[in-house]
Amino acid sequence: MRIAVFLFVAIGFLATGAAAQQPSSGAQGGEPHQQSLDDLNRELQNPVSSVWNLTFQFNNYFLDGPPSDKTRVQSLVNFQPVMPILLTKDLNLIVRPVIPIVFSAPVFEGGGFDNKDGLGDIAFSPFLSPVTKNWILGLGPSFIFPTATDDGLGQGKLQMGPAAVVGWFNKDWMLGVFLQQWWSVAGDGDRPDTSQANIQYFLYRFLPGAWNIGMSPNVLINWKADDGDKVTFPVGLGVGKTVKVGKLPVGLSLQGQWMPWHPDEFGQRWNIQLVIKPVIPSLIK
């Protein structure tokens, strides 16, 4: 399974190189080859960017919790294609699936822990975003599908709810928040119902040479958990740069995150995050 996961990631990354060679004309916000690396650097941090990209987000979560209070690590990659489609000159449809591929996750089963790997539950958020000069705005539905290949890697429920993003940016700064809430509506009747939120807040300072510093952690809220275990609240800091690999623009970033508030049992305490974002031409004109 792990070999298949690595092959999937490698094939997806290599495919971007082939896509970058495709001829293209007429784009929302300009095709990648027409934009400077500084412009692309800002676009790649924008949740409602007009630039197509294939995001590979590698996470290594260090978990706290009993028994024996031993630190355990959950390693996964979130594959997130970002596909903006220009509906009119003033309105974009932003299509954002999130496909979690787990390399290793400690799952407690009866007498002890067993490391699991495979596919997690896929999230999908298509939302509408008006074209504005300095504002980041978007609204739409969000879904989680029970696609996990192991019970320990997913919740076994079809979930849905609203998604919204609001923020502001200029040449030097970008800040905002991306909110999603889900409730379970169907799925495995033997698994508990769910009500959860994901709140991503982001803050970036853009520097010359297509560099940036900032953070974009995800606050997790499990409304069904006990009061002391509902919230995982991270803070972080990272550095990123947009470069060209041959003719292919690629955004790179490394971010460290610390969770001062987290569930006592198996809660996330630290995360080391590597993000690779190859930029591709708009495939839908």
Question: Which single residue is written with the structure tokens 């591709």?
Answer: 280
User: Please, are residues 49 and 84 in contact by the beta-carbon 8 Å criterion?
Assistant: yes
CA 120 to chain centre: 13
* pLDDT one digit per residue (tens) for the chain, 285 residues: 444 444 444 445 444 444 444 433 333 444 555 579 999 999 999 999 889 999 999 999 998 765 555 668 999 999 999 999 999 989 999 999 999 999 998 887 766 678 889 999 999 999 999 999 899 999 999 999 999 999 999 999 999 999 999 999 999 999 999 999 999 999 999 999 999 999 999 999 999 999 999 999 999 999 999 988 999 999 999 999 999 999 899 999 999 999 999 998 788 999 999 999 999 988 877
Question: pTM for the whole thing?
Answer: 0.85
Cβ-based neighbours of 26, under 8 Å, separated by 6 or more: 285
Q: What is the DSSP letter of 151?
A: G
Instruction: Report the chain's terminal Cα–Cα distance, integer Å.
Output: 37
| Distance separating alpha carbons of residues 92 and 87, to the nearest angstrom | 5
Q: Which domains does the chain have, with CATH numbers?
A: 2-280 (2.40.160.40)
Alpha helices in 21-111 (DSSP H): 37-44
